[in-house]
């Protein structure tokens, strides 16, 4: 072992051995008899200093003074009762809600959902569906009936019937079938269940998951969403187009056009395509021929849209364009006409690290975030030995009546029940508490199946209780959270009291500010200044005339009247008191009384007349109000701290402090 390495190891042993002598629970100081531990001081010190650096004794002494001042101010705020004011309590509760969120997030589930979303974002899918409408709160029988219909439709497809034919027979999606023209809307051709292309977050999560788990050409089992059941047929799966901008040259096919008319449009679009391949400029042909008036003036460029906002035929065409600047073969969109599509911009999907922040935000706002909450609930139920008595819940199937859907349910009979419903940790919840919960949540709405309603409300009641139980233990369970909450609490108190004693007072206390200014105005001095006028002339030929007016002692306003006419303002004058570097034109002449030579400037000439040089003098309160107010705040701060130190006894354990150093 080298001598250098041996010395380093010995040094590290000595350093850590010295610090180990200081227990975090040891008292570093007392303020008004209240002990402050080493741990509290070091926690805040280390947050405000670069970790890992050797502690500088002088900086620690400086910080110790700041820390004592901080604790004195918080102590006074407490004694003034600021921590009991409703606005303070509300503000602190708001911060607590934000700070508590990470403790109710299952990171493993969240990271899994982010990774899943990223993998799905790499692909754009095209799918069709057969839809069976079922309300989220439908009865068990209605739900079963719809499921059986969905299975029946799927069986027909598996036995060889065409998907679009089964769609027309079974689907309850209004967009699947043609809709005749009415006074409210024109004729709309049905999509036969074709949903076009989509990617992650475009569909509700269960539908999205089923689609991404179904291979092209396969048909999914019935998938339940909040809207009902879906049988999904995935028809295409392409690498994600990402963010893109396209332009198109469009020729419409008139509604009701016969085969001959349609063929003419096809022949014309083919001719334009041939011209493009021969080198014609896309934008020129768009301007002349495109029938999309909204985009033709912009070179055919369309607003940026995702894959789910464009016709599927359009997306298929874009997917086959190899490079930015290239264009597609003519593509037909049913009901519209022919397009030649040009790829203007394309931004591919970023790396996982590039996409992660955005994906996390979208996951947390999406319905899939419920999986994170479910994981937290499962962990907490296991940790706190959750147990329940579902028979006590079932009593409510007869206690709750349809009146609850009109906001008129009377819970009196239910309040007579008091069986244990569930237990979480040391907390128990009874039927009586659930009855109160139901009564508080009742409101007018659609009539539902009582049993299903009670089950849903009971689950909500359990989940709220479990989360609230954990919420009540955060400070005792997590020392870091407790310390953070104390920092926020003390910080708000410090801010509120400092505002009263210093910041707001310095602004509102005009007499105090005036008195402070009078005692210290020599600290706010003007240096030598020139009292001068700057004459800017557009017509240099008038220079001598202006000079004569200046020499005669004519006032500036009168000079303007003599030189300017109503139709031509050839002279402007700027007057004031100028220190060095206040004005570039003043700085070009000698800092002494007199009239300068003509100074050439863009658009004319300038004459500077320095009438007198002012001796140094104090600035007025208005001239230096911002600086004086800041100094007055510092003065108030020092006075306040002095009064606090006189009022409250501070005793520092120098032996413990020395060990920390």
On the question of a common fold for 123-239 and 528-615, the answer reads yes
Mean pLDDT (whole number) for 423-433:
97
For residues 148 and 132, is the Cβ–Cβ distance under 8 A?
no
% of the chain surpassing 70 pLDDT = 95
Nearest to 211 by CA among 292, 102, 127, 98: 127
Grouping H, G, I as helix, E, B as strand and the rest as coil, residue 22 is: coil
Identify the pLDDT of residue 20: 45
Cα 102–chain centre separation: 17
**Mean predicted lDDT score pLDDT of the chain:** 92
Identify the pLDDT of residue 60: 85
Residue 448 has pLDDT above 80, yes or no: yes
Identify the pLDDT of residue 56: 64
Identify the pLDDT of residue 50: 53
Nearest 5°: phi and psi at 511? Answer: -70, -40
Q: Which CATH class is domain 528-615?
A: alpha beta
Helix pair 282-289, 259-277: axis angle to 10 deg:
150
Residue 369 has pLDDT above 80, yes or no: yes
Identify the pLDDT of residue 568: 79
Cα 594–chain centre separation: 61
The CATH number of the structural domain formed by 123-239 is 3.10.50.40
The tokens describing 166, both together, are: 């089964």
For residues 339 and 300, is the Cβ–Cβ distance under 8 A?
no
> What DSSP letter does each residue of 256-306 carry, written as one string?
T--HHHHHHHHHHHHHHHHHHHTT--HHHHHHHH---HHHHTTTTBPPP--
Q: Which CATH class is domain 243-348?
A: alpha beta
Identify the pLDDT of residue 466: 98
Per-residue confidence band for 3, with pLDDT thresholds at 50, 70 and 90: very low
Task: Provide the residue ranges of all domains of the chain, joining segments of one domain with +.
Answer: 123-239, 243-348, 384-474, 528-615
């Amino acid at each position: 072992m080298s001598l250098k390495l041996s010395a380093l190891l010995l040094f590290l042993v000595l350093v850590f051995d010295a610090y180990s002598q200081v227990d975090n629970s040891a008292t570093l100081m007392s303020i008004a008899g209240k002990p402050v531990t080493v741990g509290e001081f070091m926690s805040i010190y280390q947050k405000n200093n670069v970790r890992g650096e050797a502690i500088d004794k002088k900086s620690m002494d400086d910080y110790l003074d700041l820390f004592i001042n901080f604790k004195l101010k918080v102590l006074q705020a407490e004694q003034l009762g600021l921590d009991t004011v409703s606005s303070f309590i509300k503000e602190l509760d708001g911060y607590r809600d934000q700070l508590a969120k990470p403790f109710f997030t299952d990171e493993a589930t969240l990271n899994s959902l982010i990774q899943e979303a990223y993998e799905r974002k790499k692909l754009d899918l095209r799918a069709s569906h057969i839809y069976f409408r079922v309300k989220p709160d439908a009865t068990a029988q209605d739900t079963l009936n719809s499921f059986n219909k969905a299975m029946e439709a799927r069986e027909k497809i598996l036995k060889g019937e065409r998907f679009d034919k089964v769609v027309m027979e079974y689907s309850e999606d209004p967009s699947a079938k043609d809709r005749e023209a009415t006074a409210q809307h024109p004729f709309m051709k049905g999509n036969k269940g074709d949903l076009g292309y989509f990617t992650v977050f475009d569909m509700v999560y269960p539908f999205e998951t089923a689609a991404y788990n179904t291979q092209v050409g396969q048909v999914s089992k019935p998938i339940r969403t909040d809207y009902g059941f879906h049988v999904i047929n995935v028809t295409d799966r392409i690498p994600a187009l990402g963010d893109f901008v396209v332009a198109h040259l469009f020729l419409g096919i008139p509604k009701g056009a016969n085969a001959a008319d349609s063929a003419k449009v096809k022949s014309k679009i083919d001719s334009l395509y041939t011209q493009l391949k021969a080198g014609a400029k896309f934008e020129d042909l768009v301007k002349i021929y495109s029938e999309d008036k909204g985009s033709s003036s912009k070179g055919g460029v369309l607003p940026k849209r995702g894959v789910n906002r464009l016709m599927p035929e359009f997306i298929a065409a874009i997917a086959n364009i190899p490079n930015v600047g290239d264009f597609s073969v003519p593509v037909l969109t049913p009901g519209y006409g022919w397009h030649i599509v040009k790829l203007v911009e394309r931004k591919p999907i970023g790396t996982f690290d590039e996409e992660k922040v955005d994906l996390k935000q979208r996951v947390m706002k999406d319905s899939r975030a419920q999986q994170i909450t479910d994981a937290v609930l499962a962990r907490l139920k296991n940790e706190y030995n959750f147990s329940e008595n579902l028979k006590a819940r079932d009593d409510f199937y007869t206690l709750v009546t349809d009146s609850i859907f009109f906001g008129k349910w009377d819970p009196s009979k239910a309040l007579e029940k008091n069986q244990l419903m569930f237990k979480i940790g040391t907390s128990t919840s009874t039927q009586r508490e659930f009855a109160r919960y139901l009564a508080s949540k009742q409101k007018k709405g659609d009539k539902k199946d009582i049993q299903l309603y009670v089950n849903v409300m009971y689950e909500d009641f359990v989940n709220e209780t479990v989360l609230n139980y954990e919420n009540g233990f955060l400070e005792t369970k997590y020392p870091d959270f407790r310390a953070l909450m104390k920092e926020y609490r003390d910080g708000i108190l410090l801010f509120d009291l400092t505002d009263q004693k210093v910041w707001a007072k310095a602004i509102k206390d005009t007499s105090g500010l005036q008195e402070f200014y009078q005692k210290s105005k020599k600290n706010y001095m003007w240096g030598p200044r020139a009292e001068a006028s700057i004459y800017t002339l557009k017509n240099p030929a008038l220079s001598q005339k202006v000079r004569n007016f200046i020499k005669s002692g004519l006032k500036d306003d009168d000079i303007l009247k003599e030189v300017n006419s109503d139709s031509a303002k050839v002279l402007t004058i700027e007057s004031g008191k100028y220190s060095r570097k206040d004005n570039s034109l003043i700085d070009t002449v000698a800092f002494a009384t007199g009239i300068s030579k003509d100074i050439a400037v863009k658009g004319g000439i300038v004459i500077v007349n320095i009438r007198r040089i002012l001796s140094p003098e104090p600035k007025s309160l208005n001239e230096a109000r911002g600086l004086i107010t800041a100094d007055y705040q510092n003065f108030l701060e020092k006075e306040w701290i002095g009064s606090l130190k006189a009022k409250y006894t501070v005793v520092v354990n120098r032996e413990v402090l020395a060990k920390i150093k």
